[in-house]
Amino acid sequence: MSDKLAARCGVVVALLLSGTALAQGVVSFNNIQGVDPALRPLLMRYNGDPLSKTTGRIQILNRDGALIVNPNTGMTTFGLALDGLFGLGHLTFPLTEPGGSTQATLQVWDSSSGETYELASEKVDVPLSLVGLGGGALPVPNLLEISIPKTYPKLPPGVSGLTLDRLQSPDQNYLKFSARVRPHARYRLEASGNLDLWTWQQDVLTGSLSTPPAPAPEWGTVEILSTLPSHSGTYFRLVGVGGE
């Protein structure tokens, strides 16, 4: 082989190796295709209703915690295609390769409880294992064909504006809490002395939050009267658990 031919072959080999190194794992990120329509795992609110496409938001973190970017739009926060359903197109996962595996986190929230994931009180993290990424010469799989798990937990009911008043009687101390909450939801009142370890104080059911026959509102105010145990800490919080 002449020196010129060898040099040309070397260039070709170098280009091929470079192309292989640049190929990264790709997934068609949706919960619509790749499964029987009757078995589609919907994104759901605390009460079992599909998360509204008007207020539902999602974002995806790759295994190092960075947000995945849609290469066509540059977006990192996405809305829903239909109530409970998302279709984000082909997403590339950095530091992966076609045929490989990776870890990711799906973050879901209801923007009516907070515009961003950090501010929302109704949100959930879903750790995902993706096994068998596409891209390069491989076909691009749908999310539900390669992800574990294939179902998503419900969003918890939100809470905001928690306030506290201390009431005293001759023989007892009381705490009166007021908060903005969801109807027909379950909450847990917790106390802490250090903002690290939280202990249960009592369960709270919110009911309809309206007087029949008026329709139940999306948000309402609940008041909670609780005795003050001797072991209660300085800090209190109301945590959404689920639907009634």
Task: Tell me how many domains the chain contains.
Answer: 2
Q: Is 29 helix (H, G, I), strand (E, B) or coil?
A: strand
Q: What is the pLDDT of residue 8?
A: 43
Q: Are residues 43 and 126 in the same domain?
A: yes
Q: What is the pLDDT of residue 21?
A: 54
d(C-alpha 166, C-alpha 205), whole Å: 21
Q: Are residues 170 and 141 in the same domain?
A: no
Q: Are residues 144 and 164 in the same domain?
A: no
> Within the chain, which residues score under 50 in pLDDT?
5-20
Task: Give me the amino acid identity at 184.
Answer: H
9 belongs to a structural domain: no
Give one word for 136, left, alpha or beta, with left for phi > 0 and alpha for psi -120 to 50: left
Q: Are residues 196 and 231 in the same domain?
A: yes
Tens digit of pLDDT for each residue in 5-54?
A: 444 444 444 334 444 457 899 999 999 998 888 889 999 999 999 999 99
pTM, two decimal places: 0.83
Could you list the residue range(s) of the whole structural domain that residue 200 is in? 159-243
